[in-house]
Amino acid sequence: MEEAGSLTAAIIVAGGIGARARQADMTDLPKQYQMLAGQPVIAHTLQAFLASPDIDIAQPVIAAGAEEIYQQAVAGLENEKLLPPVTGGATRQQSVRHGLEALHGRGVSRVLVHDAARPFVTNQITGNVIRALTEHKAVIAAVPVTSTLKKVSHGTGIITDTVDRDSVWQAQTPQGFDYEELRHLHGKYHDLELTDDAALFEHDGQSVAICQGDARNIKITLPEDFDLAESFMRMTQTYEFRTGQGFDVHRFETGDGVTLCGITIPHDRKLKGHSDADVAMHALTDAILGAIGEGDIGFHFPPSDPQWRGASSKVFLEKACDLVRARRGQLTHCDLTIICEQPKVNPHRDEMRATLAEIMNCDLDRISVKATTTEKLGFTGREEGISALATATVKLPEGAQA
């Protein structure tokens, strides 16, 4: 690392409460470790800094006891910019100080301090802070206040004044600083408890500039903030579409009916198979598993396992749909073709679609069921068995981990 220092670092403060972080109950986790659009909040935040061309290294600061939950949250984010986490202190101020000390000797000239619970930080905001740092030693992202603000007297609940809105800004993070100066002030005022890092400069009589933040750069503080965050995520999240295919064949044997798409159709034979031999549902399940690269039915439900003997194929399809949901994906469309001479499928198509829609928990118009014959040719033509073909398209959030 350079001696003089030319790097820009980001300290991501994820202090939280370590004791609570150790509990298994997700609802008790600090906000930065809770899930947002399929990923922990802190993973979104770190990704934003790791993807920023203006940031050279990122230093997370976590609570004592939160090591394990942190490692789970950032699995897959390994990157040469991302330093191992350091343990914070009893207050936010102490935590930032630990982060600053950890960066000492790494050639850092500028440092941005950011809340882990602000996942909507953008390259634009980070860039605004860093550009302003060429002229100022301390800069914070902020947004103008749009609401009318009233001063209210304590106790009486009576308005004493209307605040001039033009002079009031709402502070956000990142807050950017000259690294050595911030480190110096943290040492100098370590016995004072101040709201944020900008307050150290203010307390020292130094000027702090503001630059344009973003109204969407919210800090997730209350449970209800997740609703707003999810809707922001929907606006900013990009998706990719993947298509999978499935194919299956089952032969006829002595019996009195076949199961296709969960519907039992009376017939003079039945399909042979380990489960209920629902050839159509098997093809569809494989198509969905194929779209998300999750192997095939045989991988998840080995035929050698006696527990699947005579099982309803509904279990397989539900599993495939659960795997899509686990990746915050959505089944966009599936198309199924059943190939046989007998029994006639068309009279049952609507019931088949409705049954699949219910099992898959999706809209009817996302499911297509078709039937065809092979003009008496081949094994289906000779009525030795039934085959089925399927495609499935799923929409997956880009950047989400499997």
CB of 277 vs Mg ion, minimal distance in Å = 7
Treating both helix axes as pointing N-terminal to C-terminal, what angle do 349-360 and 314-326 enclose, rounded to 10 degrees? 50
* Closest-approach residue to Mg ion (CB): 282
Q: Which of 185/277 has CB closer to Mg ion? A: 277
Query: Which position has the token pair 């702090």?
Result: 208
- CB 82 → Mg ion: shortest distance, Å? 45
Query: Which 365-394 positions form the footprint of Mg ion (CB under 5 A)?
Result: none
- Cβ distance to Mg ion smaller for residue 64 or 249: 249
Shortest spacing between CB 383 and Mg ion, in angstroms? 18
Q: What is the longest distance spanned by two Cα atoms in the chain?
A: 92
Asked if residue 345 lies in contact with residue 367, where contact means CB atoms within 8 angstroms, the answer is no
Of 189 and 247, which CB lies nearer to Mg ion in the complex structure? 247
| Distance separating alpha carbons of residues 35 and 400, to the nearest angstrom | 12
Shortest distance in whole angstroms from residue 275 CB to Mg ion: 7
Nearest to Mg ion of 110, 282 (CB atom): 282
Looking at the Cβ atoms of 229 and 338, the one nearer to Mg ion is 338
Only segment of 14-22, 55-63, 107-115, 242-250 that touches Mg ion (CB under 5 A): 242-250
Measured from the CB atom, is 282 or 353 closer to Mg ion?
282
Residue span binding Mg ion (CB under 5 A) among the ranges 8-16, 82-90, 180-188, 248-256:
248-256
Q: How far is CA 362 from CA 221, 321, 331, 333, in A?
A: 33, 10, 8, 9
Binding mask 267-286 for Mg ion (x = CB under 5 A): ---------------x----
Closest distance to Mg ion from the beta carbon of 279 (Å): 6
* CA gap 378, 372 in Å, rounded: 13
Amino acid at 248: D
Please tell me the distance from the alpha carbon of residue 149 to that of residue 277, in angstroms, as a whole number.
Answer: 68
> Residue 115 Cβ, how far from Mg ion at the closest point, in Å?
51
Amino acid at site 98: H
CB of 253 to Mg ion, least distance (A): 14
* Contact region with Mg ion (CB under 5 A), list: 26-34, 133-141, 177-185, 241-249: 241-249
Residues 307, 309: Cα–Cα separation, whole Å: 6
Min CB(341)–Mg ion separation in Å: 19
- Residue 233 vs 356, nearer CB to Mg ion: 356
Give the nearest distance from C-beta 285 to Mg ion in angstroms.
9
d(CA 362, CA 340): 27
Stretch of residues binding Mg ion (CB under 5 A), selected from 87-95, 211-219, 247-255, 368-376: 247-255
Q: Does position 248 bind Mg ion by CB under 5 A?
A: yes
Closest CA to 58 of 37, 43, 76: 43
Nearest to Mg ion of 74, 287 (CB atom): 287
What is the rounded distance in angstroms from the CA atom of residue 34 to the CA atom of residue 26? 7
Interatomic CA distance for residues 323 and 294, integer angstroms: 8
Q: Which two tokens stand for residue 339?
A: 């190939």
Q: Which two tokens stand for residue 285?
A: 């399940």
The CB-of-332 to Mg ion minimum distance in angstroms stands at 24
Identify which of residues 32 and 275 has a Cβ nearer to Mg ion in the complex. Answer: 275
Number of residues lying near Mg ion (CB under 5 A) = 2
Per-residue interface string for the shown chain with Mg ion, residues 56-95, x marking contact by CB under 5 A: ----------------------------------------
CA–CA distances in Å: residue 369 to residues 8, 319, 321, 346, 353:
57, 20, 18, 9, 7
- Considering the complex, state which of residue 178 and residue 248 has its C-beta at the smaller distance from Mg ion: 248
**Token pair recorded at residue 76:** 């897959």
Binding mask 140-179 for Mg ion (x = CB under 5 A): ----------------------------------------
3-state secondary structure of 271: strand
Among 182, 172, 103, residue whose Cα is nearest residue 136: 182
Could you give the count of Cα atoms lying within 13 Å of 137 in the half-sphere of its Cβ?
A: 17
Query: Given the rule CB under 5 A, which residues bind Mg ion?
Result: 248, 282
